[in-house]
Structure 1
Amino acid sequence: MALPRVSALRASVRAQLSAQCYHRTFHGSSARTGRNRASVLVAGGAALVAGLIAGASRIQRAEMTGARVPTALDGKDLESRCSCFMAPPVTPLEGLRSPDMKSRMELLIMETQAEVCRALAEVDGGASFIVDRWQREEGGGGISCVLQDGKVFEKAGVNVSVVHGFLSEESIRQMKSRGKSLKTKDGKLPFSAMGVSSVIHPKNPHVPTIHFNYRYFEIEEADGNKQWWFGGGTDLTPTYLNQEDIVHFHQTLKEACDQHSPTFYPKFKKWCDDYFFIKHRGESRGVGGIFFDDLDSPSKEELFKFVQSCAKAVVPCYVPIVEKHKNDSFTPEEKLWQQLRRGRYVEFNLVYDRGTKFGLATPGSRIESILMSLPLTARWEYMYTPPANSKEGEILKVLREPKDWVH
């Protein structure tokens, strides 16, 4: 089964995503003692804001190139956009009418969450997402959408977080180690951060794992100066090597990057290869993609549109690969290799991942959401080494010697 051409696929995905807004259907709820949040089982990932929107049934979707964002959203426009989210936004609607970047970014990550969850639910065929809305005592909150033990996906999580407060000393040290010059007052530094983060672990070893994350960060220094930056990326972790799949994945991301600068893809592809490297194993976590952090130029507006294009590329870069392989047959030996590779995934996330470290160091952070990236199952065997000329050895060679997939 060949993958569709990227341009044709993009048009198809846009048509599917803009064709309709789903009406919110509640299939059960649970209140958790001591927690100010609600969990809702949502059939097919099709969740809308119950009781918040009356009769809203359409939403204007941005093209992958990035739609023009109005200077302000009136009540009806805002309700229309929010009508297809998995849950009400973290920020009250009145606060989202501002045209500032924090409002625009929150709307983008909420839309991205809903689009990805709907696409995953459709390809899984009958799966349900747990939609878990949570609050952070120190400020803000989030929405965690998690599918477990579906037909296609063993575990798929798509999280949104919108938090604010004061950075911990550990987080400030992390930022200073990356070259940030930060002026604190009495050791405190006010911040606002928001992002969408997802890791998707399939059951079939011939379907790769994908991770993506797009975020925006603001801090206010002691003298009132504000610093801001964007970060994020999308990367693929296959168990077995399929060159056509990997080329499709990278080509789709490259097209999203090229709309904004011809330098973005090669720069952020190398950054991804360097970042997702398991030093103690001497191998990459996967076959890369794009990764960037601390971006604050050329301008806030241009970078927002770039991040918007990257977010819109997630579904078309990944879902066709899932459709292609979700029904492939596999052996117990191939399933074992998938479990061993997941062990490597866990090692990277717990030892090196910057987002995991930041989350664990942030006061009031939600551990369940931070560790959502870990697979439901994994395996570690002592001194397991596959034959060099095997399919398992083939993927290991690529992981130790990153390739240029689009030239």
Structure 2
Amino acid sequence: MTKTDLETRKIRASTWFRALQEDICARFEALEDAAGPPLYSGPAGRFELTEWTRGDGTEDLGGGRMGLMRGRVFEKVGVHFSLVHGTFSEAFAAQIPGADKSDGRFWASGISLIAHPRNPHVPSAHMNTRMLVTSDSWFGGGGDLNPLLAYQRDPAFEDSVDFHAAMKAACDSYAGADFTEMRDHCDTYFHLPHRNEPRGTGGIFYDRFNTGDWEDDFAFTQEVGRQFAGAYPEIVARRMNQAWSEAEREEQLIQRGRYVEFNLLYDRGTTFGLKTGGNVTSILSSMPPVVKWP
């Protein structure tokens, strides 16, 4: 593959991730518009989109566009686009395939999303897709659902069944994407070993995905984004008008603590962002706005 071909691929991937950010933000704002009394009050939320640059400005190291919203339906939601490049630290480069042959140089672009709805009946959700280049290139990402009330944390509950069906539909479209393998990877990865419990009801997770057919791999990664953008807003719309009690709100806030614990202790995306000089506000926007450890 020529350098020109690689640069074209980078442009295509980063353009898609930025467009997906815009699409999802629009869908979430439509849900804000649809919410109203008696459960919701105040103005409909709107995303605040903030461009940011990486580094001290003395050289071009990329950056991104942070999208944050606090609204009626979404107590806090972040939908972020990034496009960064530079050199890994020597210690971190040793953990990244191909970094030894690229002198630690890397390029990465992607979208990262975490939604924390106000209504305890509406599951939280996470999604990210990305492309990373060293001396090699690959895609990674996935999506998972995080119900906050006990009655919803059964994998057979309607919301999880529909979410898994959407992720399976993405996988079934591409021969190199094995849904069972990616589902199991998700369950293994999004697990809290110190509590011996899952973070949520899963979805799919894939890392260092490179079948040798870049076009197919890119198309699959796009389909993961499309399926999430279709399935999750439908789940939100289904649940957002259910009334909730103070006890359910309390349960929601306690369960959110599991999300915090995972992201700060185990999440590789958080580690990657912080160790490559990413936007700290954007990276830690995954934290819920209110949480309890009783």
Tell me if both proteins adopt one fold, taking TM over 0.5 as the criterion.
Answer: yes
Query: How far off its partner does 1:168 sit?
Result: 1.6
RMSD: 1.8
Aligned pairs, how many?
A: 272
Taking the aligned partners of 1:162 and 1:151, their CA distance within structure 2 comes to 30
2:158 corresponds to which of 241, 244, 250: 244
Q: Does 1:216 align with 2:125?
A: no
Which residue is 1:380 aligned to?
A: 293
Distance 1:262 1:190, change over 3 A: closer
Q: Which has the higher helix share?
A: 2
Q: Does 1:152 align with 2:73?
A: yes
Taking the aligned partners of 1:102 and 1:275, their CA distance within structure 2 comes to 27
Which residue is 2:119 aligned to?
A: 204
Which residue is 1:370 aligned to?
A: 283
Give the AA of the match of 2:112.
S
Which runs of 5 or more structure 2 residues have no equivalent in the other structure?
34-43
Taking the aligned partners of 1:212 and 1:146, their CA distance within structure 2 comes to 15
**Secondary structure in structure 2 of the residue aligned to 1:313:** helix
Q: Does 1:233 align with 2:122?
A: no
Q: Does 1:189 align with 2:120?
A: no
**Secondary structure in structure 2 of the residue aligned to 1:327:** coil
Alignment of 1:383-402 (within 5 A): none
Alignment of 1:8-407 (within 5 A): 100-125=8-33, 126-137=44-55, 139-148=61-70, 150-175=71-96, 180=97, 182-183=99-100, 188-219=103-134, 226-240=135-149, 241-242=151-152, 243-261=157-175, 264-362=178-276, 364-381=277-294
Contact 2:162 2:231 in 1 (8 A): yes
Query: How far off its partner does 1:173 sit?
Result: 3.2
Which runs of 5 or more structure 1 residues have no equivalent in the other structure?
1-95, 220-225, 382-407
Which residue is 1:63 aligned to?
A: none
Identical amino acids, percent of aligned pairs: 39
Contact 1:199 1:373 in 2 (8 A): yes
4+ runs of 1 displaced by more than 2 Å?
96-99, 180-185
Distance 1:346 1:170, change over 3 A: farther
**Secondary structure in structure 1 of the residue aligned to 2:11:** helix
Query: How far off its partner does 1:170 sit?
Result: 3.6
Give the AA of the match of 1:136.
R
Contact 1:134 1:143 in 2 (8 A): yes
Give the AA of the match of 2:80.
N
Query: How far off its partner does 1:261 sit?
Result: 2.5
Distance 1:98 1:292, change over 3 A: closer
Query: How far off its partner does 1:101 sit?
Result: 1.2
Taking the aligned partners of 1:375 and 1:263, their CA distance within structure 2 comes to 32
Query: How far off its partner does 1:316 sit?
Result: 1.5
Taking the aligned partners of 1:284 and 1:309, their CA distance within structure 2 comes to 25
Query: How far off its partner does 1:298 sit?
Result: 3.5
Larger radius of gyration: 1
| TM-score (structure 2 length as normaliser) | 0.88
Contact 2:68 2:77 in 1 (8 A): yes
Give the AA of the match of 1:207.
V
Higher relative contact order (Cα pairs below 8 Å, separated by 6+ residues): 2
